Amino acid sequence: MRAFSIPDHYRSSLIGRIKAYRKAQDPRKKDLTPTLLDLGPVRFVLARHFGFCYGVENAIEISYKALEENPGRRIHLLSQMIHNPAVNDDLVARGMRFIQDTHGTMLMDWNELTADDIVIIPAFGTTLETEARLHAIGIDPLRYNTTCPFVEKVWKRSGQLGAQDFTVVIHGKARHEETRATFSHTVRNAPAMVVRDLEEAHLLGRIILGTEPLGTFERIFRDRASAGFDPGQHLDRIGVVNQTTMLATETQTIADHLKQVMLEKYGNGAIGTHFADTRDTLCYATNDNQDATYELLKADAQLALVVGGYNSSNTSHLVELLAEKFPTYFINSDAEIIDADTIRHFAVPAQEKRTTNEWLPVERPITVILTSGASCPDTLLDRVMLKVLSLVDGVLDPREVVDEMVG
């Protein structure tokens, strides 16, 4: 896999060295065992795989390249380039400006854009309608297009399904910009609809089998289905693709369930006619992060810290997994750790910021799980780790311990 040129301030002198050491030992990632960093009274358990993925590093490289190649020109980000505030804030500080937020709400008027401006497409991609609008202004939306190759892979597979007269069921969050982009690219060639979770997939299955009235489709799915979508006609041949940041296991469970629905309705001999195998659309980085997180669940720890942007879908899923076993705090930076008694964090189910007291156990040693989502720089994990260590007496020097570990 190619190496990307990203700014040095995203490189980590601690966490990054451990990741590089594990990668050299196990380049094919066959060993998902976490890394234990023993610093005396505090021990950190680090996931085998976390942090910047291929698509994110690609997006960062292209964005900073645009700045370097166009001094003095106005450069706009169509929306958040990735879902991490530290990265987006740094780009804004260098003169970039957002056109819209992650839900498509405009932050500036389209009429402010001119043909001399540069617009960077985010890693999640964008809709064909937005591309057309930029073309009409005279802006080439593909000049600095940071769309993740794995998102584009989903679009390609959706196009293939459409060419084979399948309806595309997208597992995702309907308002998420990646899902909106995938939906837009899909409906060129196929009827499409969005399901959010397994519960909705079960509901869709009952609609297909006729045990749930078609009126339920109108009530639940109509605003998430393509124009002219006819559930009586368009649900007899289906394939499932995903928003790449969703839980890969849930996407596969949804696909497996809908395949069973088709088997029940049409029989084993006709399953290939009515259900398409789409396992190849699952993102490797999302899979790796999630598989590594399942390994973290085997650890003996007092708490977990997950670092990332609060609107990051893939990071939220890591939080949900770890929260099944550990007190889990979702933070976007070390600044959320106020002191040994108080931490600010994001509650995923409630979608709100909270403050928790007595979060750091008093017994020693304490073991802390530390991981992050695919859009989080490793430098943020360094800072979080150092902040925790500053709250505990008698810790070992992490630089010396890392030096000894990696040799």
On the question of a common fold for 54-137 and 160-282, the answer reads no
- What is the CATH class of 160-282? alpha beta
- The edge-to-edge listing of strands for the beta sheet with 75-77 is 97-98, 75-77, 118-120
Mean pLDDT rounded to a whole number for the chain: 93
% of the chain residues with pLDDT over 70:
99
Which residue in 35, 33, 53 sits closest to 44, CA to CA? 35
pLDDT band at 171 (very low <50, low <70, confident <90, very high): very high
pLDDT band at 2 (very low <50, low <70, confident <90, very high): low
- What is the CATH class of 54-137? alpha beta
How many other β-carbons are positioned within 10 Å of the β-carbon of residue 333? 17
Mean pLDDT of 212-221: 95
- What is the CATH class of 8-53+285-406? alpha beta
Identify the residue with better confidence: 195 or 81: 195
pLDDT of 367 above 60: yes
pLDDT band at 248 (very low <50, low <70, confident <90, very high): confident
For the chain, the structural domain boundaries read: 8-53+285-406, 54-137, 160-282
Instruction: Record the pTM.
Output: 0.86
pLDDT band at 354 (very low <50, low <70, confident <90, very high): very high
* Active site (annotated) includes residue 131: no
pLDDT of 392 above 60: yes
The residues, any chain, with a CB within 8 Å of residue 179's CB and separated by 6 or more, are 170, 172, 173, 194, 243
pLDDT value of position 168: 98
Max mean pLDDT range (5-19, 178-192, 274-288)? 178-192
Buried b (16+ CB within 10 A) or exposed e, 381-394: bbbbbebbbeebee
Catalytic option among 178, 295, 324, 404:
178
What pLDDT, in 10s, does the model give residues 58-90?
A: 999 999 999 999 999 999 999 887 788 888 899
Please give the Cα distance from 382 to 377 (Å, whole number).
9
Mean pLDDT of 37-53: 95
Q: 226, 216 in Cβ contact below 8 A?
A: no
Please give the Cα distance from 274 to 267 (Å, whole number).
10
